[in-house]
Amino acid sequence: MATKVGIIGAGGMLQYHAGGFRAGGADIVAICDVNEAAAGKAAADLGVDNVFGDVGDMLQKLPELDAVSVITPNRFHKPLAVQLLEAGKHVFCEKPPALNAAEVAEMKTAAEAAGKVLMFDFNNRARPESYALMDYIKAGDVGTINSAQAKWIRRTGIPGFGGWFTNKELSGGGPVIDLLHMIDLALFYMGNPEPQHVLAQTFNDFIENKAFKGPWGIPDVADGVTDVESAAHGFVRFKTGQVLSYQVSWAEMNKREEVSVTFQGKKAGGMIRRLFNVDGLDETAVDDCELYVQENGRSVNRSIITEPNEDMGRIRAAQNFVLTVEGEEEPLNTPDQALSLMKIIDATYESASTGQPVSIS
Ligand SMILES: NC(=O)c1ccc[n+]([C@@H]2O[C@H](COP(=O)([O-])OP(=O)(O)OC[C@H]3O[C@@H](n4cnc5c(N)ncnc54)[C@H](O)[C@@H]3O)[C@@H](O)[C@H]2O)c1
């Protein structure tokens, strides 16, 4: 029998979750949004039968739901995920996992108590390039990755002013939290080592400058709050001796938007990169995936050709959730990995505010 899925949040990301759940063979049974009209419109567009404005109501009226995805502003990820897990549902939650590591720990405990799957939408792990690179990494062709550099940098990419993205209470932070994908991807390639120390700095230049607004995002809120960073730079040392440097920005004097992880392994180096022509517009981007090796006394650059994938693995990631619930695939991420990532995010803010390196236990 097909897995029955409900979706909470009828915003920009819904189309990818819906596409992925259906690609995995699931039935989308309900859409719920505090903005019930938005849920109704999405349900009509997608041919979904049930519409709700309240999550408790959905859980009560549809006890047959097996799984629910959470696609709301970040502030609601933890309370909704815990509510759903306690109701015995598998949960697929958008990134960031939550506002901070303490919240992720609560979600992990709730998943363990319920014996249900809890996964996060780290969709970049599901890109064709990531599958290709992981084939080499798993085969031992790269060797231990000593060092990696993770970047998601924009020049003019603030996703609206005064809305939930720029309000720390609702978002947890700016690009450090919104663009955490490449840090996650580097951890994935590096074998999810345990972080030991973080040294980082955040900046808030341009964060209220309308000239730095991106071509996508949510509507501006005139009297809303804008109290997050516009850019951050950091360095992590792991207990294994591996190291990671990272740069994230919505607004910073970069040439153009770049989304990349570069790594140096004991046997080979490599890179996954999306380089944009116009900030935020995926259709203008060029993807590259490469391995760097020494062969027959020469330096050789291998260009790995993968199928085009404009959605950056979003549909495939949601499909992996359904197939994990059904026991057909291994999960692309775990609550432990999300917790470790959020400890790095917390330490980034702590290091920036104290001016000191932060130790992670
Ligand atoms: N994986 C990715 O590539 C990616 C890209 C963009 C956004 N996201 C994440 O997706 C999430 C949502 O982003 P979005 O761009 O779709 O936002 P959005 O603002 O377009 O949509 C959010 C929706 O959630 C609804 N909502 C708010 N609070 C709710 C609640 N308590 N219960 C039910 N519904 C509620 C809102 O009415 C709105 O319709 C965020 O966590 C964001 O970080 C992920």
- 268-324 tens-digit pLDDT: 999 999 999 887 788 888 999 999 999 999 999 999 999 999 899 999 999 999 999
Question: How high is the pLDDT of residue 284?
Answer: 84
Q: Does ligand 1 have an atom closer than 6 angstroms to the CB of 72? A: yes
User: Of 14, 33, 72, which is best to mutate to test ligand 1, by the most ligand atoms within 8 angstroms of its C-beta?
Assistant: 72
CA of 60 to the centre of ligand 1 (A): 23
Task: Looking at the structure, give the CATH architecture of the domain made up of residues 125-315+339-359.
Answer: 2-Layer Sandwich (3.30)
Q: Does ligand 1 have an atom closer than 6 angstroms to the CB of 221? A: no
Q: Write the CATH number of the domain with boundaries 4-121.
A: 3.40.50.720
Distance CA 71, CA 94 (A): 5
- Longest Cα–Cα distance in the chain: 67
Question: How high is the pLDDT of residue 280?
Answer: 77
Distance CA 67, CA 63 (A): 11
List all residues 6 or more positions away from 135 whose beta carbon is below 8 Å from its beta carbon: none
Looking up tokens 């919240």 gives: 103
Q: Point out the ligand 1 atom lying closest to the alpha carbon of residue 39.
A: 39
Q: Do domains 4-121 and 125-315+339-359 have the same CATH topology?
A: no
Query: C-alpha distances in angstroms, 252 versus 22, 245, 333?
Result: 38, 17, 30
- Domain-wise residue ranges, the chain: 4-121, 125-315+339-359
Q: Point out the ligand 1 atom lying closest to the alpha carbon of residue 159.
A: 15
Question: How high is the pLDDT of residue 216?
Answer: 81
Question: How high is the pLDDT of residue 299?
Answer: 98
Distance CA 189, CA 131 (A): 10
Q: Does ligand 1 have an atom closer than 6 angstroms to the CB of 212? A: no
Question: How high is the pLDDT of residue 176?
Answer: 98
Question: How high is the pLDDT of residue 143?
Answer: 98
Question: How high is the pLDDT of residue 76?
Answer: 98
pTM more than 0.95: yes
Low-confidence ranges of the chain (pLDDT < 70): none
Distance CA 78, CA 55 (A): 14
Distance CA 144, CA 189 (A): 9
